[in-house]
Amino acid sequence: MIKSALQIARENYVPKMPKSLQGTVKVVEGKKTESVADQAEIEKMFPHTYGMPVLSFEAGAAADKPAMNVGVILSGGQAPGGHNVISGLFDGLKKLNPENKLYGFLGGPGGLVDNQYIELTADLVDHYRNTGGFDIIGSGRTKLEEEEQYEQGLANCKALNITALVIIGGDDSNTNACVLAEYYKNKEAEMQVIGVPKTIDGDLKNEMIETSFGFDTACKVYSELIGNIQRDANSAKKYWHFIKLMGRSASHIGLECALQTQPNVTIISEEVEAKQQTLDDVITYVANVVAKRAENGDNFGTVLIPEGLVEFIPAMKKLISELNDMLAHNEEAVNKLESNKEKREFVAEKLSDESREVFVSLPNSIANQLMLDRDPHGNVQVSLIETEKLLIDMVKAKLKKMKKAGDFKGKFKGQPHFFGYEGRCAAPSNFDADYCYSLGCTASMLIGEGKTGYMASVRNLTASADEWIAGGVPVTMMMNMERRHGQMKAVIQKALVKLNDAPFQKYADNREEWAINTQYIYPGPIQYFGPTEVCDLTTKTLKYEQGK
């Protein structure tokens, strides 16, 4: 493996940890729990793992633990810090018993079913400490939802004497982990399943999961790029940059990057939905900001756009919901059609009158993108919808009308950007390196205590790492019922931006001033070495949420 100087230096970084994980551990049980919604349905579906207590760790007396083999899976999209979860899991298991072994299933959940694996040894794990990416074992998006898959995975684990699985993933992956835990417990199979909260989107969080890992690093990477673009805009003074950011279901990344960089416009999907705004409302708002800045001679600026914006515009949301259901039942018929025109006509005939009107009004390119293959969960792949280009074209057309009416006398040149993959595999910030290592150690402790159906939890994250609170939260506690693939299913409830919470209020209090004035912040690259106040800061979102 060829390594950069930074990677070599990062291998020697020792993650900071909560005091409770630095020695031997005892488990303290809290109150019994219930799901966030749909309690009767969730309890009926998960009778063996519903209602378990929240767990926290404290220093305890040493106890002998029998040797065991554990499997680990990286599931879904990459997020900075995944390698440190595995490092913390590996070290934690070895601390419990030096004879413990850790196996990594290759290529995500599919590796469990297909029996593709490697043993993770110290020599291998040491080379990946504090590095970005998931390349130590790879990842994948195979959904584990068939009994045949559960049984094949169990048989493969038995052949390796594996009695515990750790699934590192987002809300859907951890929902799968909970389903597996319930299935194996119902069968009285000797198999524990523990989840770890991962997603750069930041939408897997609640009172017990303060943030998902990777969010901090990804936002710092995107904010550096946004800062660079803003400095370029402030230098050339002739371009409006429309920047689409990751986050299909929530605008956490856009909000965090706005708080870090202070752009002229940030669209928050949740606000668009709450105010029942139309696409034209959004376009008009942006065009008015462009016009007001032009009055000051500033024909440049930056606009941040959440990846999933189109799904939050009420009429578009209804359209996409109908499309998801319709395509789930007519996928084969649509795929048989040769031209996009034929597909659009076929689809339009099966929509409600309201959604058909919206669908046929869209540019053909956007309508075609809305018909593309769904992701494994049956949802439109919003990353493939060029929202940033759509907004540029529509703002340009709006400004043309405003110019004819004498309401705009400036110039407008739009530049589109989409920041996605750039942030998913960055070397983790010190915060994510510490947090992920602690999550991995926590997962090993949950396994050592014989727990299943839990997600590793590390809280109090705005304090110094030694004051963090480690433990476990039942996955069923986070669940509700949602429509997927045209059917109601139990899934972890996504955390959206709350318009009454401090992070959004901080943005709302300042956005008018940021819109008209050029008050850009240029964060620069992530700092790994230096004073704590520069290197170990977490997100502004966490800071404001916790009143710091």
Catalytically active residues are 201
H helices, E strands: number in the chain: 20, 15
Amino acid at 329: H
Neighbours of 141 (CB within 10 A): 17
Nearest to 142 by CA among 92, 107, 179, 102: 107
In whole angstroms, what separates CA 455 from the centre of its chain? Answer: 16
Rounded to whole angstroms, the Cα distance separating 370 from 229 reads 29
Does residue 267 contact residue 309 with C-beta atoms inside 8 Å?
yes
Three-class SS state of 223:
helix
Rounded to whole angstroms, the Cα distance separating 6 from 457 reads 29
Show the tokens assigned to 17: 């940890």
Residues near 327 by beta carbon (within 8 Å), at least 6 away in sequence:
334, 347, 371, 374
Does residue 331 contact residue 324 with C-beta atoms inside 8 Å?
no
Show the tokens assigned to 134: 């998931």
Residues near 413 by beta carbon (within 8 Å), at least 6 away in sequence:
238, 239, 240, 299
Does residue 424 contact residue 79 with C-beta atoms inside 8 Å?
yes
Q: In whole angstroms, how far apart are CA 259 and each of 212, 225, 256, 264, 519?
A: 18, 14, 5, 11, 12
Three-class SS state of 59:
strand
What's the DSSP call for residue 453? Answer: S
Show the tokens assigned to 51: 């209602």
Q: In whole angstroms, how far apart are CA 425 and each of 45, 83, 115, 209, 215?
A: 36, 10, 26, 22, 11
User: Whole-angstrom distance between the N-terminal and C-terminal Cα of the chain?
Assistant: 42
Three-class SS state of 71:
strand
Show the tokens assigned to 474: 């039942």
Does residue 523 contact residue 223 with C-beta atoms inside 8 Å?
yes
161 phi/psi in degrees, rounded to 5: 60, 30
